[in-house]
Chain A
């Protein structure tokens, strides 16, 4: 269970959002939406613990994430705007690194995972030579690989084609049905059943000057 408690984010002396409260339970898919610059990425960076909140707390299973990072990161998979894929390594080597360092499904075959994300035949190509969409697919392949409860995905559909988006949506639904949590931002309309999908809408605040 992920609980954000009176979260306030200040960027460049401006308040992006304040006193944000919400709880996400296992089995939920949550889409954070709002116009550009409203603080979606900042919110996600607070949730994964890359930034420290100006005020408030992020709690995972009742304890603040900053107090017990290693336990929290056992359960977390974060994909940001930057893919985290090394351009000088091949798709296979990149995934292998993540498989060995993060909790992964035992006995999963990396070749099959790469085939699933449509990269069959590209396993041994240095990722710098792949297209933007293919590079993103390498990063997204980690979703099949790992064993984490909480997925925090910042614009996962960037550069992904329509059929790829469908496959991912299906994967999100399966993950939620198995008791996982999916937290994502996207500007596309998701074709996920309304009962499964919750939306958080961030709005620009009027008096956003920090005093």
Chain B
């Protein structure tokens, strides 16, 4: 198991390297002069040169990259053009709301998705299956921002049960989490259904039945653990979908998180913040996938001995 963990850790190093280059080049891909952008449109040529010196943009590109990387390790990723505050501080206060939003969304989405998937797989071609799968394809097709606005309209505006937006109490989490998780729940339902249906054709399922086990034990005991192996991998990929989706959902619900900060920064062309956020999202996604891989290894005994 330890060897597997080390192998996986080594495996992500090249991806991290390329991602960091990609994000580093990001600022250089912006049309126009970054120094001019930071200094502002009214700045004199001299001011722009001063800024260029400050940002180290006059140095050779590989030195700039080195500075960029060492800056990351020191928690220094520049300052926001808009507020002038360090980007690190801007992001830090926004991180937890987004983290908890995605976390709760994931939790309910996986649980409900699995339940629908298992029911659909066991009640194959019956009304439960059709209902579950039509619900799932609808969940995938539904624009999240539309769903969010509909939920606000019904539960916040009409019924007044839940807050319209913002983050004040635990109730604030309910509508955004439902909205954000619905797509993932749908994908998990579809995927776990097909995975479990494949598994239920396997020989050891027949062995389980031949032992005299009841269907419940056959499906949940012998079927599901095997079916979970591919589902876990897929769920990791869905986490990316959630992180991306949170950008839209946070705008709908005025959520004080990273996603809304990103959209505000794009509108303001606040490149240091955009750059840092892209990096953070990518890191988070890579990290989640690493964790998923480890869970995969834990679920699949054949991996551990390779």
Say whether A and B bind each other. no
Interface, chain B (partner A; CB < 8 A): none
| A interface residues with partner B (beta carbon < 8 Å) | none
